[in-house]
Structure 1
């Protein structure tokens, strides 16, 4: 399997803190069935800054260690970039990485409590540059939960979303799990990823998530998400189905 969102690089954000922790996470990823993982440390989120040069060097070092320890996992470069006003300028300066460094896909995080007013325009401008924005964990964004049409508008315009495996597996509670299921059912979700930070409170959970998806939507849905992750890593066009608007009252039933 391919995991497109992780915090496995040691000592640069709130993920793995040491190389030993990163190696332990790598072993756990392999046990989970993951063969390729994109390292996506936080960037420009007000606390952590991890420009492209930092990430590239850290990924190279981790891959060397994994090879030394005979761990069959390939780590690729990426970032989880908080949306900000200078995004386009930072992209032009080479500060920002697309996923795997060469694909058109770029992993973007909103603040947890709202969607900035300029988000639609910025994401559109990124698309004009040939990039495909992937919104990280929209199921945990307070404004999207309250006003789901904010996400519907973006998905309709070609923006992709990545739902967190732990959300699907119920690790963030029943409400977030239910919302995640509704996003999948309405074709608003395109990728499932771990967003793993450690092996305790924020572990991989990919297998558990796919078990839930298999039970609720069938094996075809599992293959849809797994194949999309592989397509993304290869820089190919991911599958997407026409999004269906969900009535507000269904979302109000969350709480």
Structure 2
């Protein structure tokens, strides 16, 4: 199993605080059946700035420690970057780090809204040769209220990644329902842990894939798993024809 979104690098964001925390997360990942993780520390989210050069160094150091500890886990470099108007320039100037040095780039929106310039920036990234992946859209308040926003982004080429804990209902039933609605509408393409620790924000990948199998069948499980492999290899991922999300409001909830 491959986890393309994880805050396992120590001491650089709100994920693992120490190397020992990173090792604890690594062992937990292996117990989940995860063999490869893309380390994706936050960048330009208003609190943390982790540029490409530093991330590559931290990945190298953690990989060396994993070898010493004989933990069978491969760590690859990545970054979770808050959407900003300088993204194309930052990528071209080697500040922003695509996932495993491919064309795939994580895009994070603020929790409460989608920036007005998001449509143009997602377009500009694709024109520049990148493949933007919107992370955890199911946890964005504006998208939850208006899923048509995400439909338009995906229809015009963006990809998305939902969180394993959302699939399982760990962020609540409303988020869980939206997550599965996005799957049914072909509006998401990856499942990843977004793990920050082994307690409050763990991996939950096995549980998530069991839930996907129950609700959507084996074909969906294989698609999500294969897309993670295709991503780290830099190949084109599977994507179904996007459909609008049809939801019924009940007391303000989806």
Aligned match of 2:53: 53
- Do 1:145 and 1:251's aligned partners in 2 also have CA atoms closer than 8 Å? no
- Do 2:6 and 2:195's aligned partners in 1 also have CA atoms closer than 8 Å? yes
Tell me the TM-score normalised to structure 2 length: 0.98
Q: Distance in 1 between matches of 2:8 and 2:21?
A: 8
Aligned match of 2:151: 152
Give the drift of 1:246.
2.0
Matches within 5 A, 1:170-249: 170-249=169-248
Q: Distance in 2 between matches of 1:67 and 1:15?
A: 21
Give the drift of 1:160.
0.3
- Do 1:179 and 1:254's aligned partners in 2 also have CA atoms closer than 8 Å? no
Gaps of 5+ in 1: none
Tell me the TM-score normalised to structure 1 length: 0.97
- Do 1:135 and 1:159's aligned partners in 2 also have CA atoms closer than 8 Å? yes
Q: Distance in 2 between matches of 1:225 and 1:18?
A: 31
Gaps of 5+ in 2: none
Q: Write out per-residue CA displacement over residues 127-162 of structure 1, whole angstroms, 9 at most, x where no aligned residue.
A: 011110000000000000111111000000110000
Count of residue pairs brought into register by the alignment = 254
Aligned match of 2:13: 13
Give the drift of 1:243.
0.8
Q: Distance in 1 between matches of 2:133 and 2:234?
A: 13
Q: Distance in 2 between matches of 1:205 and 1:251?
A: 29
Root-mean-square deviation (CA, aligned residues, Å) is 1.2
- Do 2:107 and 2:132's aligned partners in 1 also have CA atoms closer than 8 Å? yes
